[in-house]
A and B are shown apart, each in its own frame.
Chain A
Amino acid sequence: MSTINETIYTKDLANKKVMVVRDFDAPVALVWQAWTDPNLLDEWWAPKPWKAKTKTMDFREGGTWLYSMVGPDGTESFCRADFQTIHVEKSFTASDAFCDENGKPTNDLPGMQWYNKFIPTATGTRVEVEISFASIEDLDKIMEMGFREGFAAAHGNLDELLSQVVV
């Protein structure tokens, strides 16, 4: 069975949050593994045509995942996720920031706060991702970056990009 599960997006601008909810046809244990094992994360975390590449992963409270997004031309942009609370196979929180290859945060781009929940369902697992930002401006900026990635993912051309930029 390979039905495509729908992803639900909700925005809560008043609280500077964006929520993403998606069901997966696999038990919580496996979904949890895919979200926390660096080898598996590298296989899916980056949207196409980017590739995620883990440099170091220390999945425990107070630990850090240092990884990069590798572009089609080989350029790497580094990110770090610092894990705050972990409730195995239930939820974890992390703060996410852009950084250099040594994990030193770059201050020119806003960070985000993640709260990921894993809920068992009749057919598998529901994942609820809540991303919060320090300000609406930060949220806006991250959305613009998402646009950039999304554009590349859609393999569009420059004209298409420009037509979407001009609101």
Chain B
Amino acid sequence: MSNQTVACIFATGWLLNLDNMRRDVFQAIADPTRRAILSLIAIQAMTPNALAEHFDSTRQAVSRHIKILTECQLVNQKQSGREIYYHFNPQKMKEVDKWLQPFRVTWESRFSQLDSVLKNIKTK
């Protein structure tokens, strides 16, 4: 199987996956409200009410954001007594780095070639 074929299969698969993007970490953090929620609960776990107080949007809108963050596992819910607390899941944020990995491979390849080019023109 050629690289081109693999690339096509991959690209098609990715496009088909667009519908599932809602559960994707990157979609989740693309939204400014959700980023604000994450920075709040990264400092300390919070109840839905405490969290909603920080936002102008309705409680319903906030819980919709929480739902998306929970679905992609950036947020965990823990019951403590009668209250639910939202916790930030830093493990999941590591995926952001995983996602950067291919970008790195591309640039490493590029730059090591650039090193050789520079070495060659320097000795000319």
Q: Which residues of A contact B (CB under 8 A)?
A: 2, 4-5, 7, 9, 11, 13-14, 18, 20, 22, 24-26, 30-31, 33-34, 40, 43-49, 71-73, 75, 136-137, 140, 143-144, 146-154, 158, 161, 164-165, 167
Contacts and interface: CB of A to CB of B under 8 A. Distances in A.
Contacts of A7: 104, 107-108, 111
A-B interface, 10 closest residue pairs, ranked by CB to CB distance from nearest:
A150-B105, A150-B102, A147-B102, A44-B113, A47-B109, A136-B30, A26-B118, A146-B103, A44-B114, A47-B106
Contacts, number: 132
Given A7-B108, A44-B113, A150 B101 contact: yes
Contacts of A149: 102, 105-106
Interface string B23-41: 0111101101001000000
Contacts of B29: 13
Interface SS of chain B: helix
A143 B102 contact: yes
B84 interface: no
A14 B98 CA distance: 18
13 contacts: A2-B115, A9-B103, A13-B96, A22-B111, A30-B121, A33-B121, A47-B109, A149-B102, A150-B109, A152-B3, A152-B6, A153-B109, A165-B10
